[in-house]
């Protein structure tokens, strides 16, 4: 498969192998990569498919398909989209809900700075998953560099897919579907995962499902040994998002409140940088807070009594800036300031989450996202929920950060519920509100 991006992105995947390379080139001027891949394939591919990919990240369109040599074997261009959506490139339908409720799904996550791959079995559970963090790669810059993130996904994704399949004891031919993060996230990073997943699915004749990154986080606690039942209130709290949702089923999400500026995790990271802590700032600030004593610094609780379920953390960050900018500030006070900052964030998150439970008449709260691993947040929420007879559910610690397991799981749930694949178009949405999702086949 060759996906030609109008801005110069080239994706190559051949046969049933895991060769996927993404490189900048202008076909016709720099053809070394193209010919090199053809030579590496040694003729062991059945189709050569060209896709015209839009640099604005819209869906691609099929240009033409040919078999070995110059013999045309596929359907006409005008019929290609319908043909693939119904039968897949191999001419056969693999697995859809209703035909076989048990399925193995390969999940791929590349929305930011973690490369995650997993295999989930809808009956046996999570078979294997691997996550590679890019913390060391971005540490020198104090934050995620999108171009470096994309390049690292390119380098590692084929390796992690192979390793994960081997760990799961699963051959590519034994998979029933592929699910990948289509958004929200960094555009370049998303495109790497999308290109690989669509090409891999096409080569294997597998349906390919686009998954919302936040839906993966929201459903990840259901992977636990004691999963919550629907309905529940979900607190999605991460570096890029802070939202409260009322969840009544897969794809049935009602937005109750969200941050008006910085997300909670973003506030942790920015505050850590103001205090001179290293990267990643959020976890380092939380670790430092464990050593501090609260009550020394009077920090605001933004929108604590706003009467709604929205959040705001930029003012809290500014309050910390005022503290560290004073002549009286000493780095010896950093632990106490970290503790007071963390307490302020946790207090607001806890109060809003409990209000959401009351307004929704719910007894189950799901907490997901990277900040959901914060120990103080867990302690405070557990105690507050217990006082009102509610229960809080969290994903396993290793599944709090971005991972392929949650994507494979969300894809499997949607497939079992009747979701139909949408063809092999490379499509990502760097900005994608969770409230726009619908129930499978709605």
Q: Along the 442 residues of the chain, how does pLDDT read in single tens digits?
A: 444 444 433 344 433 333 333 333 344 444 444 445 555 555 555 555 544 444 443 443 333 333 333 332 333 223 223 322 333 333 332 333 344 568 999 999 999 999 999 999 999 999 999 999 999 999 999 999 999 999 999 999 999 999 999 999 999 999 999 999 999 999 999 999 999 999 999 999 999 999 999 999 999 999 999 999 999 999 999 988 999 999 999 999 999 999 999 999 999 999 999 999 999 999 999 999 999 999 999 999 999 999 999 999 999 999 999 999 999 999 999 999 999 999 999 999 999 999 999 999 999 999 999 999 999 999 999 999 999 999 999 999 999 999 999 999 999 999 988 888 878 989 999 999 998 998 987 6
What's the CA gap between 191 and 211, in Å, rounded?
13
166 and 77: one domain? yes
Q: Mind spelling out the 3-state secondary structure of the chain?
A: CEEEECCCEEEEECCCCCCEEEEECCCCCCCHHHHHHHHHHCCCCCCEEEEEECCCCCCCEEEEEECCCCCCCCCCHHHHHHHHHHHCCCCCCCCCCCCCCCCEEEEEECCCCEEEEEEEECCCEEEEEEEEECHHHHHCCCCCCHHHHHHHHHHHHHHHHHHHHHHHCCCHHHCCEEEEEEECCCHHHHHHHHHHHHHHHHHHCCCEEEEEHHHHHHHHHHHCCCCCCCCEEEEEECCCCEEEEEEEECCEEEEEEEECCCCHHHHHHHHHHHCCCCCCHHHHHHHHHCCCCCCCCCCCCCCCCCCCCCECCHHHHHHHHHHHHCCCCCHHHHHHHHHHHHHHHHHHHHHHHHHHHHHHCCCEEEEECHHHHCHHHHHHHHHHHHHCCCEEECCCHHHCCCCHHHHHHHHHHHHHCCCCCCCCCCCCCCCCCHHHCCCCCC
What's the CA gap between 217 and 429, in Å, rounded?
17
270 and 408: one domain? no
Answer whether residue 154 is part of any domain: yes
CATH value at residue 142: 3.30.420.40
Summarize pLDDT for 280-327 with one digit per residue, the tens: 999 999 999 999 999 999 999 999 999 999 999 999 999 999 999 999
What's the CA gap between 242 and 261, in Å, rounded?
10
Note if the pTM is more than 0.75. Answer: yes
Answer whether residue 252 is part of any domain: yes
Number of domains in the chain: 2
Strand pairing report for 48-53 and 20-24: unpaired
284 and 365: one domain? yes
250 and 374: one domain? yes
- Structure tokens given for 436: 């726009």
358 and 387: one domain? yes
Question: What does the pLDDT read at residue 102?
Answer: 81
Neighbours of 74 (CB within 10 A): 19
Answer whether residue 378 is part of any domain: yes
96 and 211: one domain? yes
150 and 106: one domain? yes
245 and 159: one domain? no
Answer whether residue 423 is part of any domain: yes
369: closest CA among 277, 266, 280?
A: 266
Answer whether residue 442 is part of any domain: no
275 and 175: one domain? no
Domain boundary residue among 360, 375, 394? Answer: 394
158 and 30: one domain? yes
- Domain extent for 156: 2-217+403-436
373 and 244: one domain? yes
Summarize pLDDT for 186-244 with one digit per residue, the tens: 999 999 999 999 999 999 999 999 999 999 999 999 999 999 999 999 999 998 899 99
Inter-residue contact 294 to 337 (CB < 8 Å): no
142 and 210: one domain? yes
Answer whether residue 441 is part of any domain: no
Answer whether residue 156 is part of any domain: yes
Strand pairing report for 125-133 and 61-66: unpaired
What's the CA gap between 94 and 192, in Å, rounded?
25
Question: What does the pLDDT read at residue 254?
Answer: 96
401: closest CA among 366, 372, 429, 367?
A: 372
Answer whether residue 47 is part of any domain: yes
């Amino acid at each position: 498969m060759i996906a030609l991006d109008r801005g110069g992105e080239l994706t190559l995947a051949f046969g049933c192998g895991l060769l996927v390379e993404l490189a900048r080139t202008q076909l016709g001027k720099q053809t070394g990569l193209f010919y090199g891949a053809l030579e590496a394939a040694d003729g062991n591919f059945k189709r050569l498919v060209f896709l015209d990919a839009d640099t604005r990240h819209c869906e691609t369109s099929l240009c033409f398909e040919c078999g070995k040599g110059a013999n045309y074997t596929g359907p006409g261009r005008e019929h290609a989209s319908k043909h693939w959506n119904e039968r897949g490139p191999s001419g056969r339908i693999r697995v859809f809900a209703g035909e076989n409720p048990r399925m193995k799904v390969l999940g791929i996550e590349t929305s930011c700075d973690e490369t995650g791959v997993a295999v989930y079995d809808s009956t046996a559970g999570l078979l294997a998953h691997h996550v590679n963090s890019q913390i060391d790669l971005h540490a020198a810059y104090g934050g995620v560099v999108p171009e470096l993130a994309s390049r690292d996904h390119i380098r590692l994704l084929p390796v992690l897919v192979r390793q994960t399949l081997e760990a799961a004891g699963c051959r590519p031919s034994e998979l029933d579907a592929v699910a990948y993060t289509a958004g929200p996230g960094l555009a370049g990073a998303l495109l790497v995962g999308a290109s690989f997943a669509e090409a891999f699915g096409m080569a294997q004749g597998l349906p390919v499902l686009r998954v919302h990154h936040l839906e993966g986080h929201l459903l990840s606690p259901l992977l636990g040994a004691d999963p919550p039942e629907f309905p529940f209130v979900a607190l999605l709290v991460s570096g890029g998002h802070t939202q409260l949702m009322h969840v009544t089923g897969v794809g049935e999400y009602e937005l109750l409140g969200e941050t008006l500026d910085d997300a909670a995790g973003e506030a942790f990271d920015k505050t850590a940088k103001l205090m001179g802590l290293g990267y990643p700032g959020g976890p380092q600030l939380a670790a430092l807070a464990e050593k501090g004593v609260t009550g020394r610094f009077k920090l605001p609780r933004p929108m604590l009594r706003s009467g709604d379920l929205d959040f705001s953390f930029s003012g809290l960050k500014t309050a910390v800036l005022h503290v560290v900018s004073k002549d009286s500030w000493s780095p010896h006070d950093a632990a106490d300031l970290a503790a007071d900052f963390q307490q302020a964030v946790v207090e607001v998150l806890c109060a809003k989450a409990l209000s959401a439970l009351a307004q929704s008449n719910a007894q189950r709260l799901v907490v997901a996202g990277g900040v959901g691993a914060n120990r103080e947040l867990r302690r405070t929420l557990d105690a507050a929920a217990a006082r009102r007879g509610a229960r809080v559910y969290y994903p396993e610690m290793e599944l709090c950060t971005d991972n392929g397991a949650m994507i494979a799981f969300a894809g499997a749930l949607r497939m079992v519920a009747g979701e139909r694949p949408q063809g092999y178009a490379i499509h990502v949405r760097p900005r994608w509100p969770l409230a726009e999702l619908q129930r499978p086949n709605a």
